[in-house]
Structures are given as C-alpha cells and as structure tokens.
Amino acid sequence: MPSYTPPVKDMQFILHNVLNITGQETPGYSDLEADFTSAILEEAGKLTSEVLAPLNVVGDTEGCKLENGVVRTPSGFKAAFDQVREGGWPGLDMPEQYGGQDMPYVIGTAVGEMFSSANMAFTMYQGLTHGAASAILAHGTDAQKDMYLPKMVSCVWTGTMNLTEPHCGTDLGLMRTRAEPQEDGSYKLTGQKIFISAGEHDMADNIIHLVLAKISGAPEGIKGVSLFIVPKFIVKEDGALGERNPVAVGKIEEKMGIHGNSTCVMNYDGATGYLLGEEHKGMRAMFTMMNEARLGVGMQGLSQAEVAYQNALDYARDRLQGRDVTGAKNPEGPADPLIVHPDIRRSLMDQKSFAEAGRAFILWGSTLIDAAHRGQDKDADGLVSLLTPVIKGFLTDQGYDMTIKAQQVYGGHGYIEEWGMSQFTRDARIAMIYEGANGVQALDLVGRKLAQDGGKHVMAFFDLVKGFIKENAGQDADFDREFLDPLKAASKDLQAAGMYFMQNGMKNPNNALSGSYDFMHMFGHVCLGLMWAMMGKAARDALADGAADKEFYETKLATGRYYMARQLPGTALHLARIQSGADTVMALDAANF
Amino acid sequence: MPSYTPPVKDMQFILHNVLNITGQETPGYSDLEADFTSAILEEAGKLTSEVLAPLNVVGDTEGCKLENGVVRTPSGFKAAFDQVREGGWPGLDMPEQYGGQDMPYVIGTAVGEMFSSANMAFTMYQGLTHGAASAILAHGTDAQKDMYLPKMVSCVWTGTMNLTEPHCGTDLGLMRTRAEPQEDGSYKLTGQKIFISAGEHDMADNIIHLVLAKISGAPEGIKGVSLFIVPKFIVKEDGALGERNPVAVGKIEEKMGIHGNSTCVMNYDGATGYLLGEEHKGMRAMFTMMNEARLGVGMQGLSQAEVAYQNALDYARDRLQGRDVTGAKNPEGPADPLIVHPDIRRSLMDQKSFAEAGRAFILWGSTLIDAAHRGQDKDADGLVSLLTPVIKGFLTDQGYDMTIKAQQVYGGHGYIEEWGMSQFTRDARIAMIYEGANGVQALDLVGRKLAQDGGKHVMAFFDLVKGFIKENAGQDADFDREFLDPLKAASKDLQAAGMYFMQNGMKNPNNALSGSYDFMHMFGHVCLGLMWAMMGKAARDALADGAADKEFYETKLATGRYYMARQLPGTALHLARIQSGADTVMALDAANF
C-alpha cells in the first residue's frame, strides 16, 4: 500500500524563505510566523498521513454505492469526515463570524495540498462545500449567509456546484434547466444536471446545491442564466430541517478514478430554490469563485504528482534490479537499487523538480489571491487572474504526466492496482478535465486574459521576471549561468510568442488559438523557472547565512539546476509550434480527417 | 459505446504506394498484389469491427474470474475465439507445414493492428500463442514442433511466456525458479512466475507454457537460465492429452486495464517440463523472438491511438459546443461542432499524424523482419534490431499520449467509463511497461544497439535518410521546404546526439545513459518524419498520376505538413537535454532526493 509523508519542511521553505509571507502587507499575514505555520502544517500532516491516506485505496476499491436513493460512501469515510470536522479544518480560511478560523487562503492551500495528496476523492466533499460556501459568502443576502454558512463552514452540511447538463459542458448558454418564479419569491427548478461531485452521500445532515438555471422568459444564451440555492432538505427559519426537496440522485457515474467521491446525475423535479445574487447574473456569481476553484484543481494535479513521486522514490531506493554501470553500489546484495540507474534518476528528477516548483507556484498564486481579496490589491487580482489558467492547465497536465512517470518506475507492479500507483494516475486524470477542460484554460489565457486591461497584467508579469533577474544578476557567475540565463531565455521565448499572437492574431484569430495550448505550457515553464530562480536564491542566501541544514539547501539548488537545464528549454519548442501558425492546423475540411 | 472502423485504405496506401511491397525481393512478396491484400484486410476488418470490437467494453467491465482454479473469460470471448480460429487468422503468417497460411509477417502486422484496435485484451490470447509457437519453431526439435505447433498455429491450444518473478523483472539473472533434471530427460520445475498473460483461461483445450528456469547447478546469473516447454496437460506421443501437470494459477491480478486478459500468478510445483533449445541458453532463445514481440507491443500502442482517435473524431464532429470564432459553421444549430475549434483540431491532428506515420513505421519494420527472416538479409536484420526499441518505446509512449488526447476531446464524458475512452488509455498504458519497460528500451538502444557491429546499422539508417532526401530534393520547392528540410534538420539533431554520446559516453557512460530516453524519442520522431516524407512523396506521385481519389492524397500531404511543422521540431529539445549531460541528473545522493 502506498504511503504519504507531508512535505512540511518544503512548505515552510517556500512560505518563509521564498515568499517571506510574514513580511507581506496583506492583512492577516503578520501573524504567520514560522512556528505558527509549522504547528498548523504538522497537525494537518498528522491527520492526512494517519487518517486520510490509509483510506485512499479503500475509497478507490469500494467506491460509492447507490441503494434506494441513498449513497453509501466507502468504509471509514464517515468517521474520518467527523475527525476532519472536529479539527475545524474545513473552516480554516473562512470568517470567524461563521465559525471559521479566518486564516489566509495561502495556509488553506498548503493544508489543502496535504489533504488532496492523502485522499483526493475524500477531500472533494469538503472542497466542493468550500466553493459553495464562498459563493454564498460573496453573493448571498445576510439572511442566506446566516442560514447556510455556519453549517457549511463546519461541514455539518456539505455543498455542491451544478453546472453541466448532458448536452452542455463548456457552452453553458445551451442550458435547459428551468426556474419558475413562485409567489413567495422562491423558484421551482426542473431539469437534469450531470457530473455533480458529492451530489449525494451519507456524511452530512443536509446538502446545499448551488444550481445554474434559466428563469422562464430570461434572455437567450449565457446571459439568461441565474444561480440558485437548492437545499436537499428545506431549512426552516429557526434553522431546523424541514421537508425533503424533490432533488434526487439519478445514478452514480462509473468513472476512471476518484471512486471515493460520488459523482451524481441529479434530477430536479420542481425543487424549491432561492436566487443567489442577481437575476440572470448567475455566471458572474460563479466566476467570482473561478480563480480559487481553478487554483484548487491545479493543486490537485500537483498533489497527486507529489504523493506518486514519494512512492516511486521509495520503490526506487528499495527495489534491487541490475547494476550501476559505473560500478556496483550494493556489492553485497544481489543487485543495486533502481535509483542508481540514470534513466530512473531522470524520471525522479523530473518529478521532484516539478513538484517543488509547482508547489511554490500555487502558494505564490494563493498569496496573490489573499492580496486581492484581503488587501484589495487590484494588481494582484489582475495578475492571479492571468495566471489562473496556467496554474490549472499546466499543473494538471504536468501533474498527470508525473504520476505516469512515477507509475513507470514500478515496472509491471505499477500496473497492478494493489500497489496504488494506478490510482494516482486515474485520480489525477480528472483534474485536466473538470473546472474547465485544459483546452478551455488555454483559450481563456490567450483569448481573454492576455489582452485584459490592455495587456497590463502580462506586462506586469514580464516586469516581475525582468526585475528579479536584474536585482540578482552579477553576484555569482554560477547562479547567473545556471538560473538567470535560462530564465531570461525562456521569458524571451514567451514574449516572442505573445508578439506573434499580437501580429498575426489580428489578421486571423486562429493564428493565436492554434498556439494557445503551447502558450499555456510555455507560460507554465517560465513560471516554474521563476519559482526555481527564487528558490535557488533563497537557498543560496540560507547557505550564505550558515543555515544548519546545509544538505537541504544544496539539494534545492541541485534540483533547480536540473529543471533549468532539462525542462525550461522546452519553451523553444512551444515557440516553434506557435510560430508555425494556423495553416497546418486548420488545413483539413472536417469531412477529410 | 465506441466503434472501430478498420483503416483498410490507409494500410493499402502504405503497403502498395509507399512500401511497394509487391516489388520487394523478399520471398513470398511477389504475390501480394493490391487486390489480394485488400481481400485479406477487408475480411479481417469485418471480423474485428463486427465481432471483436463490441466485446471490448464487455471484457473491460466483466474481467476474468478465478473460480475453483478455473478462469472464466468474459461473456462472448469463447465464441469469438472460435470464430477467429475458424477463419484461420492465428496461423496467417505461420508455415503451411503446421497448418498456417505462410503469409509474410507484414500482412500479419496489418491484420494484427486491426485485431488489437478492436480488442487488445482479447487479441493477447492469440498474440502470446504466436510468440510461444515462434519460439518452438525456432528452437524446438522436430518432435517438439510436430507435437505442439499444429495445435498452437490453429490456437486450439494457446501459449504463454513465463519470465517475471516477484523479485525480478528486468534483471532476470535474479531468477529463482528451478528445474531438476529427471532420468527420462525431462525436468521438474518449481517456482512462482507473475504477470503471466493468458496464463489460464477457458478458451482452449491445453495451454503450452514457455518457462524460464535455472537447472540445478547452472552458472550464476543470466547465463544459467534455460527455457522449458511446460504443458498444462501432458501431451502423449499420439497427441492425446494426458495427465494434468502441477502448474496452477495462484491468483488473477487486479490491473489498471486489459481486464479481458487473465494476468496470472502461476505456481509450478514440480511440473514436468521439456528443454527448449540448449541448456543455459534460455535467454538467447527468448531473444530471438524479441524483435517480433517488441514490434507487436509497439503496434499495440499505435492500435489504441488509432481507435481512440477514430472515436474522438466522431465526437468532435457530432458534439455541438461553442461557436467558431471566425463565424458560425452551423448557424441553424444551437452551436457549432467541436471540430471547428483550433485547439480541438490541434489535438486531432496530433493524433492523426501520429497514427498514420506510426502505422507506416511498423509496417516498414515488419518488411525488414520479413527480409531478415525470409530473405536472410543481414542488413535488414541489423536495421530492424536497431529500430526495435524505438518502435516499442516511442510508439507506446506516444500511442498512450494520443489516447489521453482523444479522451480529452470528450471533456467530462471521457472520464466516464461507459463512453469507452478511459479503457483505451488504461489498456494502452501496459504497452509502455511490459516486454521491457520503455526505459529499458532506451538503454538497449543507446547502450547496445547504437554501437552494434561497429555502429554499422545506425550509419545505414542515416544513409537511408540522406539517400531519400537526395533522391527527391530539387523537384518541387514546396515539398523540399515542407518535408525534406525539416527531415534533414531533425536527422542532423539525431546525429549530433549520437556524436555527443560518442564523445562523452567514453569518459562517463552516464553522459549517454542520462540522455537515452530523449534519444529514443528523437529517433522516433526522425523515423516518423521519414515516414511522412515517404508518404508525402507517394501522395504527390499519385496526384501527378491523376489518381481518382484526389482528396485522400491531398489529405495525406496536409497531415504530413502538420507533423513536419509541429512535431518534428521536438528533436531540438531532446538534443538540448542530451547535451546538458549527466551532471544535473546524477547530482543528488540517493538519500537526498
């Protein structure tokens, strides 16, 4: 059975040495001393590694079962969920007013990575609840907040998000679910929603569904969509649970992975709903949550890469097979461990250098969300809005690839379910699809975010990279050559791609859209290159300060050098593809494929 | 449910327009006129699309069940296997002497791709039998051949290959299964083998296991391994089945995919075995089959990419979602089909351009095997031996990636098992692992094959590429620019990588081995680039000759242009990684990862 070791030390390095969070101006940050964050991370680490991780394979094997309209979660989930509630984890970054602990989002993200690495399917029950609660927090009336949030922040009730229908996923303008206004101001919702994560289960007293639907007579398309609160049990004024709303699970989907989470077809049959936010502005209400939700999915990609890497590393150290070509490393044993072989190391270094920089990228993005929300920093808001599709698309694509590499280290055993490596890949696979498929992320990035506010945010990003290089160049020739020069080259490639879009996208938007996916990936590489440069600098500083754990910082530098030498040059290939334009992509008639 | 359409026309194009098989000097090729191969392919296409493809999801869903020592295959498998036998398909390329049809291997490969696309798990029962029969054909005594081959060629009996043990996969020198010589010249085998595909099932009267084991007192390590025939039921001199041999299935593994094939733990408990080939030369006997077996696995990777692509294409044409940014293509409908979107096209073109060139690569490799075996052509033997790890490693890695891309086209539906796209990825995943994990293929390529016979075969490959370019350059400026120039550049990258290995691998073999995986992939791209150049030329020739189906050949050229512009430049990235050397790969102590 696979195991999970929370990367507390690595998180502390990023939070304190690299991002220097205690020194940030964002409200609520000044308390985040290393001792304090360490205590939180250690505690979360214990819960996730001891309670949640052992249930991961159980969830995969047993799955969720629909019996007479009731969904049974896998053995042990309910008890574990109680423990999570008791620890107050679901409300970590929620307002105290509603029972939360009011911690910054960045701390929620760090803890969330642990939860997700340990048991992604399990963690989704609270993740969806967090998303639904955030939407109510941002758009609900005071009465709605008072009625739903205390129970949702504590996960006594859970939440869901209902967007997709059988014939519409990305294109929500095609939506058919209807909402009929009632005399008392409520609505009756009728329609079918699919792919509803945590749609029904046996771990909470009530489930608060957030449902997109069209009010009768609403404008056509996406502009006629509204958002509704549809509780499984109607909540009475005194907070007690009333009658059962006619919303029922139609079936549980048989999926490739995340079997521990119940993915439901939900049928609304005249169910009572309450408008959340304004009429016809449902998409806007949804989209205010989008940056967080998408960052959370990017984090899922990273989380599976991390735990898969940990297990691949253990296996590579233990499994004896073949000999080091440069001389036996385990001469007393029948063979050397796998980790002596250069190609196994290549794979492990790919995984390690991705996971560590990916973590830094997400934590950095989380500090931007905090700055935007808590500090009202418009620039931070614009920057994280630009980076969100990169975090989601790049980290889930790469995260998935890393789980495949980790599985490959196991050879044939990787293909056998009992070793658990297959589950990491199957679970990670969904993160490339939901919350906007990665092709849609690329479209969002190139078609919308690049030009947002006159291109101000992408310019700010380039300035940030340039500023970092300028500030740190010329002090250490090795650091310049190993870290700053590759970052500069990659950033130049990215700028050249942006330039290509500007010059050729006007003539024909397909010239930009044909390169959108490559652009998202090259942007991701530049971001991870920037993270490695920042981590490299922090490690050098720590070593110069005579830090105790020399090996930790030297390993950081070595891992960064690997990424810079082996991964970052990938930007040139993406640029070449982008500059080849749309002609070869669009050449064929649909009939001739 | 997914469907499968055999690519008969495309195969005919490759066999006749590109490889010109009827014009080859290889014995048995002159009969292969287009009408004749067309009849075979059409017939195989009917069987695979109508009988085998509908059983693919059944096999995945039901899996194989072990009940009281008996393995039950999924519903419908037995009846379908009877139909396959009746059609004589298993013996297509086997000698007439033993009931086969004596067709070239290349025809077997083309038919095999269809079988594998339609139902990979099912096809493995006959695939393993083919491999075992080939080993007996190459190394058996006349008595052994007469006893086993007629029944195996017809698949009345099936076969298996038993190599792996729990503690040894790649490193077979660690093997523990023992063979005790008996007075009658037979042996008693004792030990446990794992991952035995088709190890036990209910579709054949007898199963002929080929088992690697060490004869007591044999030399240590890999040089003490011998190969044995161990029938499930002992075969009497008159061919009748005798007593049950003490070889039993211990359990069926729960795997990520290929559920329709029974992957067994096999326990040999003093089972009677007969030496196949010479004592202690078991690895050599196995390795004579290796090129074919590995090419067959490469073909599996391609086969899943092909069928997944076909379904993704259908979905992209049918599913209405969003609008073409350059203007509605389906203005009467609620939305345009997915295929209008540039990023969907990028994905489909990646898949299409891979599948068509991958097919050409495998069929070309198969003609080399035919030339080597039937024509005793030593150069062909050397060349295919060099290309085999590329065919296996590159086509299974890329084939798998393509199934992931195909699945992605489906959005959320791709993750739901009933749509069948998950199965293609899960089935394809094993091909990167078995028959030598792809890292081992890369090691074989760089550590052994490059330098084989003084580097003669890799030089022959480069000469072949150069020869093709020289012969075809200067006739059409577009063709030169679109096809020949990119091929030349990629081939130059590959040569530069080889040069780097020569210059730096001497000093430190890790400089070569750290780049082996990248080298395998860049070699694969050059091969597919060569295939596209050859196909482009054949398409141009057909158009110049006024071929009837103009669109078919123009589509070929357009697809080739895509590959040349978007995929082939990948060689530069691989070269950059290779030239970064071993330092960053090998920097960390095992303890510091």
What separation in angstroms does the CA of B69 have from each of A123, A475, B127, B146, B505? 40, 71, 23, 30, 52
**How many CA atoms are closer than 13 Å to the CA of B451, on its beta-carbon side?**
11
Does A592 sit within 8 Å of B343, measured CB to CB? Answer: no
- d(CA B486, CA B481) in angstroms, rounded, equals 7
pLDDT of A364 above 80:
yes
Q: What domains can you pick out in chain B, each with its CATH number?
A: 8-287 (2.40.110.20), 290-436 (1.20.140.10), 446-587 (no CATH)
Does A587 sit within 8 Å of B439, measured CB to CB? Answer: no
Contact A216, A284 (CB under 8 A): no
pLDDT of A69 above 90:
no
Percent of chain A with pLDDT over 90: 96
Active-site residue identified among A306, A435, A471, A551: A435
Residue A435 is a catalytic residue: yes
> What is the separation, in whole angstroms, between the first and last Cα of chain A?
45
Does A587 sit within 8 Å of B558, measured CB to CB? Answer: yes
Which residues of B belong to the active site?
435
pLDDT confidence tier of residue B464, bands split at 50, 70 and 90: very high
Partner residue opposite B513 with nearest CB, options A256, A257, A325: A325
Which pLDDT does position A169 carry in this prediction?
87
Residue at A97: amino acid letter: Q
Which pLDDT does position B290 carry in this prediction?
79
pLDDT confidence tier of residue B232, bands split at 50, 70 and 90: very high
Chain A positions touching B337 (Cβ under 8 A) are: 590
How would you classify the pairing of strands B178-181 and B70-72? unpaired
What is the 3 state secondary structure string of B335-404? Answer: CCEHHHCHHHHHHHHHHHHHHHHHHHHHHHHHHHHHHHHCCCCHHHHHHHHHHHHHHHHHHHHHHHHHHH
- d(CA B522, CA B528) in angstroms, rounded, equals 10
DSSP label of B415: G
- Please give the average per-residue pLDDT across B526-550, as a whole number: 97
Q: Can you spell out the DSSP letters for A94-135?
A: S-GGGT-----HHHHHHHHHHHHHH-HHHHHHHHHHHHHHHH
Chain B positions touching A168 (Cβ under 8 A) are: 321
pLDDT confidence tier of residue B492, bands split at 50, 70 and 90: very high
Chain A contact for B593, CB < 8 A? yes
Which pLDDT does position A506 carry in this prediction?
87
Does A576 sit within 8 Å of B170, measured CB to CB? Answer: no
Structure tokens at B559: 């697809």
Chain A positions touching B566 (Cβ under 8 A) are: 577, 580, 584-585
Percent of chain B with pLDDT over 70: 100
DSSP label of A165: B
- d(CA A472, CA A530) in angstroms, rounded, equals 12
Contact B215, B186 (CB under 8 A): no
- What are A157-213's pLDDT values in tens digits? 999 999 999 999 888 889 999 999 999 999 999 999 999 999 999 999 999 999 999
Which pLDDT does position A568 carry in this prediction?
98
Which pLDDT does position B287 carry in this prediction?
82
pLDDT of B384 above 90:
yes
- What are A447-491's pLDDT values in tens digits? 999 999 999 999 999 999 999 999 999 999 999 999 999 999 999
Chain B positions touching A317 (Cβ under 8 A) are: 590
Which pLDDT does position B142 carry in this prediction?
98
pLDDT of B286 above 90:
no
- What are A369-387's pLDDT values in tens digits? 999 999 999 999 999 999 9
**Which residues are bridge partners to A20 per DSSP?**
none
Percent of chain B with pLDDT over 90: 96
pLDDT confidence tier of residue A39, bands split at 50, 70 and 90: very high
Angle at B450 between CA B448 and CA B452, to 5 degrees: 65
Nearest chain B residue (CA) to A439: B343
pLDDT confidence tier of residue B288, bands split at 50, 70 and 90: confident
Helix/strand/coil for A200: coil
- d(CA B256, CA B259) in angstroms, rounded, equals 8
